[in-house]
Structure 1
Amino acid sequence: MSRRWIQNPNRCADEYLDGIEDFIEFARRQNPGATRIRCPCRRCNNTLFETIENVGFHLVRNGMIETYSIWNLHGEQVDHASSSNALRVDNVEPIVDPNDQVMSIIQDAFPFASTNINQEGEDDVPTPIDSAEFEQYEKLLKNANQELYPGCESFSVLTAIVEQMHGKIKYRMSNLCFDYFLGVFKRMLPTDNCLPKDHKHAQKVLHGL
């Protein structure tokens, strides 16, 4: 089975989310009865143990170690030739601000947003940009910079939605359950908050990632 999804920078893509589900199911089969397993996310780096549910959440939020394509630390058998690559441990990534992380996801999804510099240090000739794609980029950027409510410094609109969607995946919440709690959170916030009212509207904000 191909595990190219591990290198997919878009952690909201169906391919990536399906890959996480495959890994979680594999870990459950290989570690029956285990309450905690090594977490192969880029922060825990297979050195910390988490519940299987938290591992799934970490993989969505932080991404999987890109070199961990053979899951030997979770029960997969490897031959001698490939074991050296499988046992490689990368440096643990530093903890980053969620808002910065969301901006990185946007840049990964829209490469044209970053200025390309060639080997001579000069700007490359910009490639044509689809107008609809650029419009989607501008909407995401606006929500990434907009406070969840006036004076909120911890969450932008986009960061809040990404965090809640990760929770939906982690706890396998139905859309109906997600809508209920999203509505509760919205009523708890100041009346001028920008939190979407339901799952359908949250997905519209995330469209393009």
Structure 2
Amino acid sequence: MDKSWMMICDRLKSKEYQQGVKSFIDFATKDLCPHNDIRCPCVDFLNGTKHSRQVVWLYLIRRGITCSYRTWVHHGERVPLHHGQPSVSNDAGERDGAKIFDVDDHLGESPTMLEEIYMSGLMDDHINGEPNSSERENLVKFIKLFDDARRKVYPECEKFSVLSFVIKMLHIKDNAKLDNCPTCKESRYKFTNTSGKKIPHKILRYFPLTPRLKRLYMSKKTAADMRWHKEKHVDDGLLRHPADGQAWKDFDMQHPMFSVEPQHLRLGLV
């Protein structure tokens, strides 16, 4: 099911958006009686209040649907977390490299915990009042966390989801204060000298990034070199500088206000 219409801003004039709202209401009411109310996923109610399908349609047209509500669990769509569980495909998400995949092996008990919270707490039928600002903020944060648990770090990644990768990085950070390796139990330090200072086996030395970049502009020569891509670059079709690459040109098109200033820096990871 294509959900790309949820990102359209011009709701009142877009036939695609209005058709998308109709398809959503048809999906949400396919197993309900004509007089049954449904939860309203607009930006005001965030599935916290039930209305008739006509009122929901009106709110979605005038106020807009919550863009982060990608899996319609409040309206009958299954949460695709476990093996063999049927789900409704999300074409828009797949095009963005956010194809849903099984993260049970990467998060341990986290998917089950998230699913239980999502399917019980958020779908509590006793919630009839409008959510306050704090509840809306918490709900948006949880929906983002839930989406991160099901989204790959990059399209070809099969080992980590965004959430599991962040958790892994936090665990590595926690190991910074350990005296022994958590895997092989070897000491992190060679020995302790007479002054009591610990000498580690491995030392990583580096220049802090911000001061290093500032120093490049302290010299007239290097400062001119830093602006070369804008002031002296010749676009003759030959690839001799990163500015000749398609990635650089695409970045300039997407961020024209940034690219107009020649002293702005682009950092790349290799």
| Fold in common (TM above 0.5) | no
More helix by share: 1
Relative to the length of structure 1, the TM-score reads 0.40
| Larger CA Rg, structure 1 vs 2 | 2
Q: Answer 1 or 2: higher relative contact order, Cα 8 Å, separation at least 6.
A: 1
